[in-house]
Amino acid sequence: MNPFKKFVAEHKRLFQRGKKLARGGFKKSARVKISTAAPKALIFSPHPDDECITGGLALRLLRGAKWNVVNVAVTLGSEKKRRVPRLRELKSACHRLGFALIGAGLENVNLETRVKNPAGWRTAVSAIARILTEYRPRVIFLPHEADGHPTHIGVHFLVLDALIDLPPDFECFVVETEFWRQMTQPNLLVESGVADVADLVAALACHAGEVRRNPYHARLPAWLLDNVRRAEMVKGQGGAAPDFTFGTIYRLRKWSRGRLAEVLKKGKCLSRSENAAGLFR
C-alpha cells in the first residue's frame, strides 16, 4: 500500500469541499483601530482580486503593526460589462480585509500602450504620481517586471515611471509581488497564520464572478503552502526550509534617490512571531 494515498485523497476532498463554500457576502473581519497618523502601505493591484492573492504581508502590516493599508485598483479588468460587478465585489473584499480602497480608473495598462500611445501612458503615469504624492506611503506593493500577464507587467512599469516623475527626495520601500510567473530572485518569504489565510480566501471568494468560472480561491492555501517549498530561492540553495505552513514570496527593495536600492543583505524568512513593520525601518 502507498501510505500517501490517503494524504493525497484528503487534499482532493478538502479542495472539492472548498469549491462549494459560500462566495461573497461575508461580514467584515474584526475591526482594527488604525491611527490616521500611522504609516501607509499602497497596494497597486492590476485587477480586482490581486489585493487578496498577494496580500499576506499587507494584512500583517494592518493587523500586527496597525498600518493604514490602501488598495489602489489600477484597472477593473478588460471586460467592460464586468466592471461594475467587479467593483462591487472588490469593495466587499476590501471591506472583509479592512483595506481602504481607491480607484485609478485606468485602461490598457500594458507595454504596448507605453510604446504606441505615449500620450495616454503619460496621463496614466501622472495619475499614479498624484496618488503617490497625496498618500506619501512608506511601502508600496506592485507586480514584478515579468509577472506573466500584460497588465501585471504594465502596472510594474507604470508605477516605476511614476516614481521617476516624483522629486528626487521621494522615498518609499518597494515590495514586488508575483502570481502569474515566479520571480527569479526573490528575497523575502512572509509567513501567514491560519486566521489570515482564511480571511484572504474569504475575501477572494467575494470576487464571486471570477471564482465562479475558476475556483482559484479554493486553491490559494495550496499555493501559499507551496511557496514555502521555494524558501531556498530566498535564503539560498541547500538551506533548511523554515517551519512555516503558509507563506508569500516577495522582493523587497527601496526607492531612494531616483532608483531602486537593495535593503536586505541576504534573503529573509519573516515568521509570524516577528513584527512585519521591522522590515521597513
Which CATH number do you get for residue 255? 3.40.50.10320
- Can you give the pLDDT at residue 67? 97
State residue 21's pLDDT score.
Answer: 83
Q: Answer yes or no: is 22 within a domain.
A: no
Adjacent-strand bridge partners of 252 = 175
Q: Does residue 28 belong to any structural domain of this protein?
A: no
| Residue 16: inside a domain | no
Question: Is residue 31 in some structural domain?
Answer: no
pLDDT-based confidence at 36, cuts 50/70/90? confident
Instruction: Please report where in the chains the cell 494592518 appears, as a residue.
Output: 62
Interval 208-220: pLDDT, tens:
999 999 999 999 9
| C-alpha torsion sign, points 215, 216, 220, 225 | positive
Q: What pLDDT score was predicted for residue 34? A: 87
- d(CA 90, CA 204) in angstroms, rounded, equals 9
CB proximity list for 281: less than 8 A, separation 6 or greater: none
In a domain? residue 13: no
Convert the pLDDT of each residue in 97-138 to its tens digit: 999 999 999 999 999 999 999 999 999 999 999 999 999 999
Q: What is the pTM of this model?
A: 0.94
- Taking the C-alpha atoms of residue 135 and residue 36, their distance in angstroms, rounded to an integer, is 11
Quick check: is 14 in a domain? no
When divided into structural domains, the chain yields a total of 1
Give the 3-state secondary structure percentages of the chain, helix then strand then coil, rounded to 5: 45, 20, 35
Range of the domain at 196: 39-280
Domain contains 147? yes
Is 26 a domain residue? no
CB atoms within 10 A of CB 249: 25
The residue among 268 and 34 whose pLDDT is bigger is 268
Q: Are the C-beta atoms of 156 and 144 separated by less than 8 Å?
A: yes
